[in-house]
Structures are given as structure tokens and as C-alpha cells.
Amino acid sequence: MKGRPEFPDVRTLFTAVLIITSLAIAINDYLWLLILLAITLASLLIAGIHLTRLLRRLRRYRWLFLLIALAQSISNGSGTVFLEFQGYVLLSSGGLLGALAALLRITVILAAVGLLSLKDYQQMVTGLAQMGVPYEFAFMVLLAVRFIPVLMEEFRNSLAAIELRGIELKAIPLGQRLKVYSYLLMPTTAGALIRSRRIAIAMEARAFRAYPRRTWLQWPSLTGWDWFIIALSLGFGAGVLYFKIRGVIA
């Protein structure tokens, strides 16, 4: 059924996220990454998404950020050397800039993905189908996205059950703690497989893939603003990649 236009459309969000994340991966210059981050944060604010969500998400990955920063700093010994041990450069200006670029890249990607929170899972599946993606693949993406939070929730519930029995995981040595995590991983994975099998049976019982094409309850159309943002995103991405190829942007 033809739906009334709703701005922004899922295809607009997909296009913007794809352009932003692709540029974040391709660009190595931290100044351009800062510009890209500023554009992404401005997009979140315009869309009405509070930046506190992004801050909470970044706080979860703070240790990952630290490891990436250390790895980048050690692997890149260019520029002014600040710390050296037995001929190995541990800290340099080039390493710090590389670490800053890596942290900005991850922040831009996480912020861009936050734009997809404006739509629910069903709207995402419809948007993928409108973009020409086979509906089987669209539903597969939908199930994968929905199963990740379920796995995390089951794992957290298992950890909470262990702590309620009087076991303080933080006081356990790291080796034994990893062994406990490995014990929890098997039942969590088995539970997810059982749940996925039930979903597959339910979908087959409703004649999923019985026809090469399927109908949709809502089939939204793009507004003028959607076309403008899509064209602007594609033009901006093409322009930055052109300067990247020409060597203007690192």
C-alpha cells in the first residue's frame, strides 16, 4: 500500500550513514575527521537525537579506545619521538596523531549509526526492499540486528545470576574470570540457536519465500527534502573522495 511521505525516509538515512562511514574509513587526516564528526553531530542534533546516547555508547568502549590508541601509538613511530625503549619507539607525535585519527574514526561511525535509531526494524526492512535488496536478505539483516541485543541481554542475565549466588566476578583472577565467561558463552549461544530455529519454523509456517515477490503494508515515497539530502550526501562523498584520490586529503 502506498504510504504517505515521512521525512526522513529510511533510504535517506541509509545513504547518509553509508557515505559518512565510508568517508570515515577512507580518510586518515584527523582534521577532516573532525569536520566529518562535526557534520555527523550536527545531523544528530537536527534529527532530534540527544548526544547523551552517544556519550553513553562511547563510555562502554572506553577500554577499546585506549587499546586502539596504544596500538596506533606503538606501531607508528614517525615524527618527534617522546618515549623510546631499547631502540623501539613507544610514543611519538605521528603515533599520537594516528591514535587520534583512529578514535575519531570510531566515534564518527558510532555517531552515524545513531541516525538509524529514528526508524524501527520494520521500516528498515521496507527501506532495504525499496532499494532493490532481495526481501530474504532484508529479513536476514533484520533478524541479525534483533538478535545481537538478545544475546547481550542473555549474557548479562547469566552474569547477574552468578553474582546473586555470592560470586564476585571482579574479585576473581583474570584467568578464572575468562573461564567463567567461556562457560556462559555455550548456553547463551545454544539458547540463541534454539530461538532462531523457532523463528525459522514460524516463518516457514507462514509461507515465507513462497513467492519471488511479496507485498508490503506500507510503501513510503521520498519527499523533496529526502531527494535533496540524498543528492547532497552523494555529492559531498564524491567530492571528498575526488580530493582523496588527488592527494589533497590524506
Q: Which of 103, 24, 104, 33 shows the shortest CA–CA distance to 68?
A: 103
Mean pLDDT score of the chain:
79
Q: Both 134 and 211 in a single domain? A: yes
Q: pLDDT tens across 153-206, in order?
A: 777 777 777 777 777 777 777 777 777 777 777 777 777 778 778 877 887 787
- The domain tally of the chain equals 2
Q: Give the per-residue pLDDT at 188.
A: 76
Cell numbers 567530492 correspond to what residue? 239
DSSP string, 79-126: SSEEEEETTEEEEEHHHHHHHHHHHHHHHHHHHHHGGGGGS-HHHHHH
Cell numbers 568502549 correspond to what residue? 61
Domain membership of residue 199 (yes or no) is yes
Q: Both 113 and 129 in a single domain? A: no
Three cell numbers at 22?
565510508
Domain membership of residue 31 (yes or no) is yes
Q: Are 79 and 99 in contact (CB under 8 A)?
A: no
Q: Both 137 and 16 in a single domain? A: no
Give the range among 137-141, 221-225, 227-231 with minimum mean pLDDT. Answer: 137-141
Q: Give the per-residue pLDDT at 19.
A: 92
Integer Cα distance of 78 and 74 in angstroms: 10
95 has pLDDT over 60: yes
Q: Both 105 and 184 in a single domain? A: no
Q: Both 58 and 24 in a single domain? A: yes
Integer Cα distance of 101 and 171 in angstroms: 35
231 has pLDDT over 90: yes
Three cell numbers at 164?
546473586
Q: pLDDT tens across 36-77, in order?
A: 999 999 988 888 888 887 788 778 777 777 777 777 777 766
Q: Give the per-residue pLDDT at 194.
A: 80
pLDDT category of residue 242 using cuts at 50, 70 and 90: confident
Q: Give the per-residue pLDDT at 67.
A: 77
Element holding 54 (H helix, E strand):
helix 51-60
CA 197 to chain centre: 26
Q: Both 227 and 113 in a single domain? A: yes
Half-sphere exposure at residue 116, Cβ-oriented, CA atoms within 13 angstroms: 21
Three cell numbers at 168?
564476585
Q: Both 41 and 109 in a single domain? A: yes
Three cell numbers at 129?
526492499
Identify whether 8 is preceded by a cis peptide bond (ω within 30 of 0): yes
pLDDT category of residue 86 using cuts at 50, 70 and 90: low
Q: Both 15 and 41 in a single domain? A: yes
Domain membership of residue 4 (yes or no) is no
- Higher model confidence: residue 203 or residue 80? 203
Encoded amino acid at 223, one letter: T
For the full predicted model, state whether its pTM sits above 0.85. Answer: no
* Count of residues in the chain: 250
Q: How far is CA 62 from CA 6, 59, 70, 162, in A?
A: 36, 5, 12, 25
Q: Both 96 and 145 in a single domain? A: no
2 has pLDDT over 60: no
Range of the domain at 165: 121-219
